[in-house]
Structure 1
């Protein structure tokens, strides 16, 4: 019975998230051909620009609200999502019937804000249960988006509004079902300590490095697209491009998470993808126009890949630092889509200049190469600081710091006194037999305590605990966490 219940929750979350991804692609993620077909070339900007601006502005409002009025904003904004998207769709229908431009602008504002609320709601859905369950749902939803994209090809251009409205309805219905399915579990959990808001120090030491990576990736995708092909892709080609990026991202992350059992972070992902991005930029001026779609795909894939990793990273960060998930994700979501808007503006400025097409391409490549290299320099510099921090933590004088960090973890995760003793010995290099002898308990009892510690701390091995302790030791010495 419990297994069937878990599969049902997994299924509704995956299908609902797939519908949400497709709805966003049709309305938010740069399908310029869609608003032109639906609203006409002269009026598409009255929909796209208000929608994108309200999307980013709502993210930032929730981010600021999590600090100023946390009791109002650090929650799941599902009622707001239903109200905003429903009203937006009604006004959009009114525009189709009357061709009244103010209705189209108002619809874009409401749908953009409602989309942000849905982003935050789905982030909370994925935070329920274990990290592995959240990762499974995100991967399945990204892969299942192929079914939602099929709506466009099934109904055609004449029913674009119907397709988007149907996806919006499925998204809201299954989002409600996912939240309702978890409601009983949330009510049964003991009340947690109040969330602490992010501070300016957090922005520098914990969030600065990943935010810098997100900004660069958000700018790269649209500028690469504008430089590679000045004319926008057809709607069907755009759909296939985004769908392929979703499927490839899901495949690669599925292998990393479920086959190799490796965790990912924003900064480490940037370091790994940096050679791919630089290679694409260097090859761009020398690739014939018909084949530049591959360069556009690299940009789209990078943005999609980082968006998924960002969702998982925000959940982990909010739990580790006991911050409100809404505030953390709103910060990163706002920066992600805000930087994408900057990239769109930059691409438009370059393509609208009087420069020749070849000069525009080289200008775009130069700007992106400089930005990518600058971010990589910052990451390399922080990596050197981390190495120095780890070296100092390995000296005898670091023993007290280790014990202080262990005590901090005990208080943060509510470990029992015996679990606290086991944790302290583990991070000081004791194995299971040595720990058992030290505490005068059996080895099986030590393993039982270790399993409970893993569960409470959301880790899967002793090495992950040691890494977490070393990271916090580095943070106490004034350095940034390596998993940021």
Structure 2
């Protein structure tokens, strides 16, 4: 019997805990996602230093609520950057060069320098201040693309876990920031931006460097074009129109919720600054982090992301209805709870977007930007509405109820459309014609190079069969079924049976 050293036994134990992926002594930090979690945490810290605190705000008494205006330009810069990347035909440039991390660092350094100059008593022109905030917002967008492009190959379960844990950690870091002086916060900003921009993100064997999520070579590496031979037939060379449709399918609801978030965040930041209750941001970060960690550990195989998202619509509408009728403390609380709902919704949509990009082999940087700029555009609009209300207390008292009611009506309409869409759509293969199901299976087999036996196993997995049941139906051993399931997951780029079911059902909806 082979004798193992203590170190080798520990590595094997960690290998099992990590889900059976290859582990070596020099890759444990990557395997357990320490550096990715730290990088994403620093990204959130950077955002909340910029938008929740007044570290970068340059005072200017001649313009009413100039602090809110500056932060609004930050959101505008992020939206414009994402739109530009989404419209570029050569967006792969951002994947192959160090432009994104360098631009993020340069943008952060510029606003730190301008803020330091203003604190030293040097007068800075208003156009320069607003331009620097535009650059800072664009820098956060560049950091987002760099982070989530680098985490593309982490797999959906690990991707969700990384973001959940990062949210939780950033909430505790935020509490520490509240007790620091602005000078220390400025120095800390450079540190967190460097971590965000340059921390290694690829996990061993994840294929993140090549943009793959299934462990299969991408061939010519042209960002979505690949060939897989299955019975002598080659899969399509470019993303299909259905894949692009899947990428764009949730942008309307994301835009609407972002308008609500922009309004609530603008009012909440303004009121919390005046009342000194900045701790409400902690609620908006830690509670979504805790909830998403519980979801990724206990519920991911029992409840799809789509179902979870549906519950957030009425919750947001409820807090929005309470908003105009609350006292100052209640107003801050409602705003923080709305931000909490949006943070949860936002992270889940990022997980959903990653899955669409990975499953359809879409160009990464361009697809991330295409899926994200509606959210940023909604933030800008919501922030603008909130800023306009803050310019006049009478407008805030008189217009806020009408605006909230209008947004609630829009949310109810979106929820109705959302529920109707998915209740009308098939919830399982048994509700669809056999011919359509076979077409979907054939398309998946061609795209991912599944063998005939793997296709049979996949069909039973999609029906919800257990490993033991599949072995009995196909007259093969339990271990053989486990091997086929492992190969299917590796090729398709999923990590759980529910993810495979979601992938098949998404394709069934696109064929309707």
Q: TM-score, normalised by structure 1?
A: 0.82
Contact 2:56 2:111 survives alignment (8 Å)? no
Determine which of 116, 119, 123 is the counterpart of 2:148. 123
Residue of structure 1 in register with 2:37 after alignment: 14
Change (3 A) 1:123 1:290: same
Change (3 A) 1:354 1:134: closer
Residue of structure 2 in register with 1:349 after alignment: 388
**In 2, distance between residues paired with 1:161 and 1:235?**
23
**In 2, distance between residues paired with 1:247 and 1:353?**
33
Contact 2:261 2:338 survives alignment (8 Å)? yes
Q: Is residue 191 from structure 1 mapped to residue 221 from structure 2 by the alignment?
A: no
**In 2, distance between residues paired with 1:143 and 1:361?**
32
**In 1, distance between residues paired with 2:342 and 2:208?**
34
Contact 1:214 1:336 survives alignment (8 Å)? yes
**In 1, distance between residues paired with 2:240 and 2:434?**
28
**In 1, distance between residues paired with 2:483 and 2:205?**
28
Change (3 A) 1:437 1:242: closer
Contact 2:82 2:373 survives alignment (8 Å)? yes
Residue of structure 1 in register with 2:81 after alignment: 58
Change (3 A) 1:228 1:147: closer
Residue of structure 2 in register with 1:452 after alignment: 487
- Pick which of 284-293 and 400-409 moved more: 284-293
Determine which of 47, 68, 74 is the counterpart of 1:24. 47
Write the deviation string for residues 405-438 of structure 1: whole angstroms up to 9, x where unpaired.
1111112222234323433565589876786677
Residue of structure 2 in register with 1:136 after alignment: 161
Within-5 A mapping of 1:40-55: 40-41=60-61, 42=63, 44=67, 47-55=70-78
**In 2, distance between residues paired with 1:400 and 1:50?**
52
Contact 1:217 1:302 survives alignment (8 Å)? no
How many equivalent pairs are there? 463
- Pick which of 431-440 and 310-319 moved more: 431-440
Contact 1:35 1:48 survives alignment (8 Å)? no
Any unmatched runs of 5+ in structure 2? 1-10, 12-22, 226-237
**In 1, distance between residues paired with 2:372 and 2:500?**
28
Determine which of 469, 475, 478 is the counterpart of 2:510. 475
Within-5 A mapping of 1:273-284: 273-284=312-323
| SS, match of residue 474 in structure 1 | helix
Change (3 A) 1:402 1:78: same
**In 1, distance between residues paired with 2:375 and 2:208?**
32
Residue of structure 2 in register with 1:100 after alignment: 124
Write the deviation string for residues 430-472 of structure 1: whole angstroms up to 9, x where unpaired.
8767866776654532332123213333445556544533442
Determine which of 95, 106, 109 is the counterpart of 2:134. 109
Residue of structure 1 in register with 2:369 after alignment: 330
**In 2, distance between residues paired with 1:475 and 1:58?**
30
Write the deviation string for residues 308-328 of structure 1: whole angstroms up to 9, x where unpaired.
112211111111122123222
Determine which of 65, 69, 72 is the counterpart of 2:93. 72
Contact 2:150 2:208 survives alignment (8 Å)? no
**In 2, distance between residues paired with 1:428 and 1:6?**
37
Write the deviation string for residues 368-405 of structure 1: whole angstroms up to 9, x where unpaired.
11221121122133134315x969x636xx22222221
- Pick which of 86-95 and 244-253 moved more: 86-95
Determine which of 260, 282, 306 is the counterpart of 1:220. 260
Any unmatched runs of 5+ in structure 1? 478-484
**In 2, distance between residues paired with 1:324 and 1:313?**
16
Select the structure that is richer in helix. Answer: 1
Write the deviation string for residues 333-389 of structure 1: whole angstroms up to 9, x where unpaired.
2111210110011222344468565422321221211221121122133134315x9
- Pick which of 188-197 and 17-26 moved more: 188-197
Contact 2:323 2:335 survives alignment (8 Å)? no
Change (3 A) 1:14 1:5: farther
Q: TM-score, normalised by structure 2?
A: 0.78
Contact 2:74 2:134 survives alignment (8 Å)? yes
**In 2, distance between residues paired with 1:461 and 1:19?**
29
Residue of structure 2 in register with 1:480 after alignment: none
Contact 1:143 1:247 survives alignment (8 Å)? yes
**In 2, distance between residues paired with 1:184 and 1:427?**
25
Write the deviation string for residues 9-46 of structure 1: whole angstroms up to 9, x where unpaired.
2222222221221111122x4x374444x544556478
Residue of structure 2 in register with 1:394 after alignment: 431
